Amino acid sequence: MHFSGDDVRFYSSKLAASAAAVGINQGISFACVVCILYADSSLSNKIYTKEEKMAEEGTVISCHSLDAWNEQLQKGNDSKKLVVVDFTASWCGPCRFIAPYLGELAQMLPDVTFLKVDVDELKSVATDWAIEAMPTFMFLKEGKIVDKVVGARKEELQQKIAMHKPN
């Protein structure tokens, strides 16, 4: 069983909030978080793989490996859909600010594929795509870059999607 840093952060904050509500010291141990993660995941009859979870959510698809990245690019090319790639970093404040908005767009626009690449996790991809600032959004059609937005600019992001997505 594998849990991401996001899972640990989520459950750590959940445990800290619960502890604060009943007046317990906010210092929590990693072991407690792991116990909660295990208990939470064992409540389900099925443990989902990352790929199954991504497909189930139907929102922004996180690419955690070079194989996953290449597979998603190929799917985008084959589908001829607009692909919006969010090059992000876990430590980036503007990236965290724009992430929920990107999720909303993904839910509202099923005819657009939204991918997320952590530049620290997939350094070779970030280098190949000449990413110098986060967040950077690349807009692809049939494997070709058609546009780019640098920064957490909601309005510009929405305008570029409207401009490039199929009608």
103 and 24 belong to one structural domain? no
The CATH number of residue 143's host domain is 3.40.30.10
121 and 138 belong to one structural domain? yes
Helices (H) and strands (E) in the chain, counts: 7, 5
19 and 99 belong to one structural domain? no
Total domains in the chain come to 2
Phi, psi of 144 (to 5 degrees): -110, 140
d(C-alpha 25, C-alpha 94), whole Å: 31
Tell me which residue range forms the domain holding 19.
5-42
26 and 65 belong to one structural domain? no
Helices 93-108, 154-164: axis angle to 10 degrees equals 40
130 and 86 belong to one structural domain? yes
pLDDT in tens, 6-22: 544 444 444 344 444 43
Helices 5-21, 30-42: axis angle to 10 degrees equals 100
Q: Position 2: which residue type? A: H
Q: Tokens for 153? A: 């600019």
Q: What is the pLDDT of residue 166?
A: 78
Q: Are 134 and 95 in contact (CB under 8 A)?
A: yes
Q: What is the pLDDT of residue 74?
A: 94
Q: Is residue 32 annotated as part of the catalytic site, yes or no?
A: no
68 and 38 belong to one structural domain? no
Q: Is residue 63 annotated as part of the catalytic site, yes or no?
A: no
pLDDT in tens, 137-161: 999 999 899 999 999 999 999 999 9
pLDDT in tens, 71-97: 999 998 898 899 999 999 999 999 999
57 and 136 belong to one structural domain? yes
